Amino acid sequence: MARTRNKSLQAKLVLLGDMGAGKTSLVLRFVKGEFSEYQESTIGAAFFTHVLSLNEATVKFDIWDTAGQERYHSLAPMYYRGAAAAIVVYDITSMDSFVRAKKWVREVQRQANSSLTMFLVANKADLEDERKVRYEEGEEYAKENGLSFLETSAKTAQNVNELFYEIAKRLVKANPSRQSGMKLHTRPGETRRGFLCCT
Amino acid sequence: MDEEYDVIVLGTGLKECILSGLLSVDGLKVLHMDRNDYYGGESTSLNLIQLWKRFRGDDKPPPHLGASRDYNIDMNPKFIMANGNLVRVLIHTDVTKYLSFKAVDGSFVFNKGKVHKVPANDMEALKSPLMGLFEKRRARKFFIYVQNYNESDPKTHEGMDLTRVTTKELIAKYGLDDNTIDFIGHALALHSDDRYLAEPALDTVKRMKLYAESLARFQGGSPYIYPLYGLGELPQAFARLSAVYGGTYMLNKPECKVEFDEEGKVVGVTSEGETAKCKKVVCDPSYLPGKVRKVGRVARAIAIMSHPIPSTDDSHSVQIILPQKQLGRKSDMYLFCCSYTHNVAPKGKFIAFVSTEAETDQPAIELKPGIDLLGPVDEIFFDIYDRYEPVNEPTLDNCFVSTSYDATTHFESTVDDVLNMYTLITGKVIDLSVDLSAASAAEE
């Protein structure tokens, strides 16, 4: 019996949400298995690539973090270009964070392509004693707006891998079209050609 | 705000964003502000609503043109030389990972009332009606000389010191006729007027080599590449680089006022009643009008069309050069076209631009030779704007003002200005020579 050919997918994934909600911590936990309690805005890294192997496909994520440009409402349109998935993050210990997450959801719906897969993620689930946003509130808002919902903790790694695997599965099912165009790469071995004449 | 920065950058034009990125990577604390609520300044790409607002006031774009956000209309149309300085900077900074490009389909030249493809390979060169057969042989010898020329290897100079021999003298040695000289000077070396003929030939030879190397880079139909979603992506990409290395971004900051001490040295920038302190200011001319002088004007037309430019083999991206001599003008005129295949317009739409250094106050009349080549247009807009260069002394006031974008077809002069400014600001020189030798491209 012939084995089904493994599909390969490359997808841009963008993170959104207030500063301090834990966007970068989520990515670092997923990509590097790290968590830092006292992490300031990340310097020098806001773009990650990571490959996930599923049974039916391999998904390579290009993960974009905001690099702090959201702080003064200065995120560029290019951030949303060609994004196949978006994660909107809020902090369960902050009602303000949840309120602003709703604004980010509307911004994504305005800016990004309509076929994008969006997750609402309630982070810092390990801080149950300081919870200000009930699970049901987040879940209900997500349902009303056609989003998927998950509570996570970047600190304890709760649901972090599950989040990215779930996104990967949905993307494989949705099969988003690839963006055309070429990338400039660093690669040796350029062949040289003559200038409008034979040599 | 109300903080202290090493550098405050005003205006998010491409030059300012490249500088912001480079300075942040160097570890300087950078604050970058713009009065607009979008990135790009004079080098932005506008959506349809923004375009209408800018050129038609309160009018609204007609629905049949499609969704506003599908448009990314360049306000400073140029193409990127595939082997040029901007590609080197993109690779040097690794900003390429945020961008995707397409090779530009073709480069054309207007000659004796007709549009001709600038040959991209031997076969096209043989067939081209731009030169007769014997002239092609003479031109070929000249091209071989240029190809072999190496500034640091005297054996390739054939006894001529190109820092002293003029372009006219060099070309005369190969017996080329005036029509061929015009073609070489304007369609290959991309000079915009004829002053180069009386100047040392080295610059022209270097430009021809850049053209040839760019043509070979991606084996396309032209020496150019162009970013998906328009040129406005470039300042955004470099702004992101700055942010990644700690730069702070504030769009929509009205009236950024530069403050000076008694000695005339910059001390900070005030906006909305708050002042941020800094040691240096970098900005485009509009933020320090008292420190610049007018050096020229650019006339431009922007057209929305539903077809490619006629006589360009149905190309979705082209440049057409109209040499000054063909038009009886002092400067060349340029046509650019890109389309929905570059994600700058909805499906079926093309965006065309006609640009030149202005010689009159009437762009619609002045640009007519270029507009006539476009065929039917759905909408057309006209613009004329001043170009400025700084006249201040940065060592005295610590203000570093960029020069306005010119009407040239590419970004070489843009990057030269950026690199010079970087050296003035930091005292350092960026070495871009190694990066490109390893550069290539791959389809996603």
pLDDT tier, A55 (very low <50, low <70, confident <90, very high otherwise): confident
| Mean pLDDT within A170-174 | 85
pLDDT tier, A195 (very low <50, low <70, confident <90, very high otherwise): very low
Q: pLDDT digit string (tens) for B162-198? A: 998 999 899 898 999 888 998 999 999 999 999 899 9
A139 to A17, A118, A133, B6, B80: CA distances (angstroms): 17, 13, 10, 45, 48
Q: pLDDT digit string (tens) for B70-97? A: 999 999 899 999 989 899 899 989 898 8
Judged against a pLDDT cut of 50, whether residue A189 lies above it is answered with no
Chain A residue nearest residue B341, CA to CA: A180
Listed by number, the residues of chain A in 167-196 with a beta carbon closer than 8 Å to a beta carbon of chain B are 178-190, 192-196
Q: How confident is the prediction for chain B on average, in pLDDT?
A: 91
Of A46, A182, A187, the CB nearest to B244: A46
| Mean pLDDT within A174-192 | 60
**Domain membership flag for residue A72:** yes
Q: B2-42+229-291+386-430 in CATH: which number?
A: 3.50.50.60
Around Cβ B47, how many Cβ atoms within 10 Å? 20
pLDDT recorded at residue B104: 94
Q: Which residues on chain B are in Cβ contact (under 8 Å) with A46?
A: 240, 243-244
User: Given CB atoms, is A114 within the 8 Å cutoff of chain B?
Assistant: no
pLDDT recorded at residue B211: 93
Of A42, A73, A185, the CB nearest to B441: A185
What distance in Å separates the CA atoms of residue B385 and residue B387, rounded to the nearest whole number?
7
What distance in Å separates the CA atoms of residue B182 and residue B104, rounded to the nearest whole number?
23
Of A150, A153, A190, the closest CA to residue A170 belongs to: A150
Looking at domain B47-103+295-385, its CATH architecture is 2-Layer Sandwich (3.30)
Of B146, B437, B444, the CB nearest to A183: B444
Beta strands B30-33 and B4-10, pairing class: parallel
pLDDT recorded at residue B304: 97
Instruction: Provide the residue range defining the domain that includes A43.
Output: 5-173
The 3-state DSSP class for residue B322 equals strand
| Mean pLDDT within B338-362 | 94
Judged by CB atoms closer than 8 Å, whether chains meet at A187 and B439 is answered as: yes
Please give the tally of structural domains in chain A. Answer: 1
Q: What CATH number does the domain containing A114 carry? A: 3.40.50.300
Beta strands A182-186 and B399-401, pairing class: unpaired
Structure-token match 């001529």, residue found: B160
| Mean pLDDT within B113-141 | 87
Judged against a pLDDT cut of 90, whether residue A20 lies above it is answered with no
How many residue pairs from chains A and B have C-beta atoms closer than 8 A? Answer: 145
Say if residues B350 and B339 touch (Cβ distance below 8 Å): yes
Chain B residue nearest residue A182, CA to CA: B443
Listed in order, the ranges of chain B carrying CATH 3.30.519.10 are 47-103+295-385
Q: Which residues on chain A are in Cβ contact (under 8 Å) with B89?
A: none
Of B308, B328, B327, the closest CA to residue B318 belongs to: B308
pLDDT recorded at residue B145: 93
Of A47, A186, A196, the CB nearest to B143: A196
pLDDT tier, A198 (very low <50, low <70, confident <90, very high otherwise): very low
**Domain membership flag for residue A32:** yes
Written as six digits, the tokens of B306 are 């539903």
pLDDT tier, B444 (very low <50, low <70, confident <90, very high otherwise): very low
> Long-range contact list for B385-389, CB < 8 A, 24+ apart?
B385/B42, B385/B297, B385/B298, B385/B300, B386/B294, B386/B296, B386/B297, B387/B294, B387/B295, B387/B296, B387/B297, B387/B298, B388/B285, B388/B292, B388/B293, B388/B294, B388/B295, B389/B285, B389/B292, B389/B293, B389/B295
**Domain membership flag for residue A82:** yes
pLDDT tier, B49 (very low <50, low <70, confident <90, very high otherwise): very high
Q: pLDDT digit string (tens) for B335-348? A: 989 999 999 999 89
**Domain membership flag for residue A182:** no
What distance in Å separates the CA atoms of residue B95 and residue B89, rounded to the nearest whole number?
8
Tell me the Cα Rg of chain A.
19
**Domain membership flag for residue A20:** yes
Phi and psi (nearest 5°) for B299? -105, 140
Looking at domain B117-214, its CATH architecture is Orthogonal Bundle (1.10)
Q: Please, is B86 exposed, middle or buried when counting C-beta atoms within 10 Å of its C-beta (0-12, 13-18, 19+)?
A: buried
pLDDT tier, A193 (very low <50, low <70, confident <90, very high otherwise): very low
Say if residues A44 and B245 touch (Cβ distance below 8 Å): yes
Q: CA dihedral defined by A128, A133, A135, A140, rounded to 10 degrees?
A: -170
pLDDT recorded at residue B131: 87
Judged against a pLDDT cut of 80, whether residue B290 lies above it is answered with yes
Q: pLDDT digit string (tens) for B65-75? A: 999 979 999 99
Of B185, B197, B180, B184, the closest CA to residue B134 belongs to: B180
